[in-house]
Amino acid sequence: MANYSTNEFRSGLKVMLDGDPCSILDNEFVKPGKGQAFNRVRMRNLKTGRVWDRTFKSGESLEGADVMDTTMEYLYTDGEFWFFMEPNTYEQYQADAAAVGDTHKWLKEQEPCEVTLYNGTPLSVSPPNFVELEITETDPGLKGDTAQGGSKPATLSTGAVVRVPLFISQGEVIRVDTRSGEYVARASKS
Amino acid sequence: MTDWRSGASLAALQARSRLLGNIRAFFAQRQVLEVDTPILARFGVTDPAIEPLRSVASAPEGASMFLQSSPEFAMKRLLAAGSGPIYQLGKAFRHGEVGARHNPEFTLLEWYRPGLPAKELIREVAELVCECLDRDDWSVVSYGALFEEVLGLDPWAVSASELKAVAAGQLDVGTLDLDYDGWLDLLMSHVIEPSLALRGLLFVCDYPPSQAALAGCTDRDGRRVAERFELYVDGIELANGYQELLDVWELEQRAAQDNERRRAGGQEERALDSRLVAAMKEGLPPCSGVALGVDRLLMAQLGVDRLSAVMPFDWSRA
């Protein structure tokens, strides 16, 4: 991989640091009037998700990381691994629990999602921003309470639990924002 | 494509025009002569922390010329020739300095006062800046007292490894490998500067001798200090001034040290300006001088935090 110097650091650039692939979020050039120039770099460790500020001497360089974001189709899980398919090549990839993390609760079979590959293996998986899932369990719906704005927990087909308005019943399909884990709307049943 | 447009609003451009006019009026009233020295010159500074831009235009002998990082050397030649007090309002260049508060090409105001000690030049800088910003909250603190106050350490009494330990306790310094001045710079820019945000116009004076740059040194309260000062406005560095070094032998020593550090850091060495040396041998009058970033002054006036909002075309649009 190429090396990148601090003046090439841009938001989104993937580099290796302390043996882990990292994504650069922000890069600030800092220089006292006379003296050493620094770059204060905000980065995310793509393995742990941790975000932190690290200071470098200006002109220092880091090795690029072989990291690629690809849209793949989620196939199934065997309990230990989650399987994804690259839709153009039909090549299959297996991701472990560390890569999938909390995302598993939004994964719906045959739906596309973003898989980040590092050296050819899944490093992390991101769900689409919105998913539509069926409610498998919730308290019975109540009529006439739409104005109250109360909510209740509902378990979805993937196991995720979200709060839904009281009038929603079991068996309905709802739209959820995966970034906040919040109910958005009823989805039209297909 | 909208980047043909200015990044600054029309109101900012009008404020810029007024500011340049006000600066000129300030010096006209005080009978300081405006001078206009070359932007392209045969010599660049030896300072390892400043990388001048090299031009393709060549001097008669074929060497390339440098875009000036400051008009200091040319202005000192005028002072040595008896110009009296002078100022210059023009462009300066620093290679590779790009950021929210740095632009490789910027507008610099530099002025020199023969016969004035640094302490009195500080007063004049305060008068100009207070007038431009319509404020009067200025104060002075020494570099040593500031470190004592913010970090509880005396820069004159600590080693590089002690400074490193303090820095590592406050920041993620990774595998940074710096010398004594490098650690001081890191603490100054990353820990102390942000703490100055609520201190209005603050002059920091009496730097460690290793950070004298082109300031003279003196003994004060039992320690050797450089007669250098910097002005911070709400935590943002705006100006750097010296009671000027007059000793040409000392100048040559410092240039040699600069080049030693350049060699060690893999940078190209720079010849010291032989015409400045000749002028100083002839005799630079005792004087103080200061360089002030005009774009940053305008940022402070307009209360914005990016240079791109006060420059017609910043680096990304130039």
Closest CB from B174, B190, B240 relative to A30? B190
* Token pair recorded at residue B258: 């600069």
The C-alpha of A33 sits at a distance from chain B's nearest C-alpha, in angstroms, of 7
In this structure, what DSSP letter does residue B190 have? I
Residues 6+ apart with CB under 8 A from B122: B140, B203, B205, B229, B241
Choose, out of B190, B204, B315, the residue to mutate when testing the contact with A (most A CBs < 10 Å).
Answer: B190
What residues of chain A lie within 8 A of the CB of B230, using their CB? 33
What is residue A104's predicted lDDT score, i.e. its pLDDT? 92
Is the pLDDT at B63 greater than 90? The verdict is no
Burial class (CB in 10 A: 0-12, 13-18, 19+), A114: middle
The C-alpha of B171 sits at a distance from chain A's nearest C-alpha, in angstroms, of 7
Residue with tokens 């080693």: B159
pTM score, whole prediction: 0.85
Q: What is the mean pLDDT of residues B247-269?
A: 94
Is the pLDDT at B67 greater than 60? The verdict is yes
Q: Does residue A81 belong to the interface with chain B, where contact is any CB pair within 8 Å?
A: no
Q: Does residue A19 belong to the interface with chain B, where contact is any CB pair within 8 Å?
A: no
Q: Does residue B59 belong to the interface with chain A, where contact is any CB pair within 8 Å?
A: no
What residues of chain A lie within 8 A of the CB of B205, using their CB? none
Low-confidence ranges of chain A (pLDDT < 70): 141-149, 189-190
Is the pLDDT at B87 greater than 90? The verdict is yes
Is the pLDDT at B54 greater than 80? The verdict is yes
* Token pair recorded at residue B2: 């909208």
Q: What is the mean pLDDT of residues B128-157?
A: 97
Is the pLDDT at B184 greater than 70? The verdict is yes
Task: Determine the residue of chain B that is closest to A7 in CA distance.
Answer: B96
Q: Does residue A37 belong to the interface with chain B, where contact is any CB pair within 8 Å?
A: yes
* Token pair recorded at residue B22: 């006000």
Band of the pLDDT at B103, cuts 50, 70, 90?
very high
Q: Where are the domains of chain A?
A: 3-63, 67-126, 130-186
Q: Does residue B98 belong to the interface with chain A, where contact is any CB pair within 8 Å?
A: yes
- The whole-angstrom separation of Cα B195 and Cα A185 is 47
Q: Does residue A35 belong to the interface with chain B, where contact is any CB pair within 8 Å?
A: yes
Residues 6+ apart with CB under 8 A from B108: B70, B71, B88, B89, B90, B91, B92, B291, B292, B293, B294
Helix (H) or strand (E) holding B33: strand B33-34
What is residue B311's predicted lDDT score, i.e. its pLDDT? 97
What residues of chain A lie within 8 A of the CB of B185, using their CB? 32, 35-36, 38
Task: Determine the residue of chain B that is closest to A43 in CA distance.
Answer: B172
Size of interface A-B (CB pairs under 8 A): 73
Query: Which residues 135-174 of A have a C-beta within 8 angstroms of B?
Result: none
Q: Give buried/exposed letters for A59-72 (b at 16+ CB in 10 A, else e).
A: ebebebbebeeeeb
**Would you tell me which CATH number, out of the four given (2.40.50.140, 1.20.210.10, 3.30.450.20, 3.40.50.2300), belongs to the domain A130-186?**
2.40.50.140
In this structure, what DSSP letter does residue B9 have? -
Closest CB from B49, B96, B172 relative to A53? B172
What is residue B56's predicted lDDT score, i.e. its pLDDT? 79
Strands (E) across chain A are located at 3-5, 14-17, 20-30, 38-45, 51-57, 61-63, 67-77, 82-85, 92-95, 112-118, 121-126, 130-138, 151-156, 161-165, 173-177, 182-186
Choose, out of B185, B193, B245, the residue to mutate when testing the contact with A (most A CBs < 10 Å).
Answer: B185
In chain B, the domains with their CATH numbers are 10-137+200-309 (3.30.930.10)
Q: Does residue B185 belong to the interface with chain A, where contact is any CB pair within 8 Å?
A: yes
Q: What is the mean pLDDT of residues B100-128?
A: 97
Burial class (CB in 10 A: 0-12, 13-18, 19+), B273: buried
Which of B146, B38, B45 has its CA nearest to residue B94?
B45
The CATH number assigned to the domain with range A3-63 reads 2.30.30.30
Is the pLDDT at B62 greater than 90? The verdict is no
Range A67-126 classified under CATH 3.40.190.10: no
Contact A36 B230 (CB under 8 A): no
- The string of DSSP letters for B35-87 reads ----SEES-----TT--PEEEEEE-TTSPEEEE-S-SHHHHHHHHHTT--SEE
- The whole-angstrom separation of Cα B208 and Cα B206 is 7
The C-alpha of B61 sits at a distance from chain A's nearest C-alpha, in angstroms, of 31
The C-alpha of A23 sits at a distance from chain B's nearest C-alpha, in angstroms, of 16
Angle at B289 between CA B302 and CA B178, to 5 degrees: 80
β-bridge pairing A173-177 and B105-114: unpaired
What is the rounded average pLDDT for all residues in chain B? 95
Residue B30 Ramachandran class (φ > 0 left, ψ -120 to 50 alpha, else beta)? alpha
Question: Do A67-126 and A130-186 come out as alike in CATH topology?
Answer: yes
What residues of chain A lie within 8 A of the CB of B171, using their CB? 53, 55
In this structure, what DSSP letter does residue A104 have? G
What is residue A141's predicted lDDT score, i.e. its pLDDT? 67
What residues of chain B lie within 8 A of the CB of A55, using their CB? 171-174, 176, 186, 190
